[in-house]
Every structure is written in C-alpha cells, then in structure tokens.
Amino acid sequence: MSKITIYEKPTCTTCRKVAKALEENGVDFNKVNYFIDPFTKTKLKSLLRKMGMKPSELLRTNEKEYKELDLKNRNYSEEEVLNLMIENPNLVQRPIVEKEDKAILARPPERINELF
C-alpha cells in the first residue's frame, strides 16, 4: 500500500481524529507538522493541484491572520494568497492528507475514505 502523509497541526482536533482513524485501520502514514516543517511554495502548489483547489478555497477564514490581512475585503490574486499562506501557516485549512497523486482536505475527518 502507498504511503500516506498527513499535513497537520498536532493541537488540531480534526487532525488528531484523522490520525486516530488511520491508526485504528492499520494504515501506515507519516505526519508532517507544517508549523515546524513549513510548506514550500512548490509543495503547497502541488497539494492544491492534487486537491483541485485554488489557494483562496483552502483559507481558514476564522483565523486572526485572515482578519488582520483583511483577506475578505482585499482583492488578492491567487498567487498572493498562496504567498500569504506560506508566510502564515495558520491560514491553511487542515488536515491535508496526501496519497500518491491525490490529496484531500480531510474536513470532516470521514473524507479520508475517499483515498481508499
């Protein structure tokens, strides 16, 4: 079976639920805390492509950084949003689960079933 990678924030409840579900089903996976091992622009672009999402669709809109940057009212390009996400990892929705050429935003956690 192919290796699965979870891009997470360890304190996130949804991230912990996804990891627990994979463990309970005997799935081999890696965890990447993207606050310690940040996304590169290339990696985040790759994940977005695999998810079929634009950067603006992966934003956490309730974060203080979202409000401070006035992302709701400012007209940022998708490239600018991507750069802001690299600079401010709290802006990235989580967890992102990657398996080979597919990735999903595992919200709700049951979405991981789409990878199997």
Indicate which residues carry an active-site annotation: 12
Strands 102-105, 96-99: pairing kind: antiparallel
Beta strand residue intervals within 1-116, DSSP E: 4-8, 29-33, 96-99, 102-105
75: tokens are 């007209």
85: tokens are 């996400």
Element (H, E) at 45: helix 41-51
CA dihedral (98, 89, 41, 22) in degrees, to 10, reads: -10
Please say whether the dihedral angle defined by the alpha carbons of residues 43, 46, 52 and 56, taken in this order, is positive or negative. Answer: positive
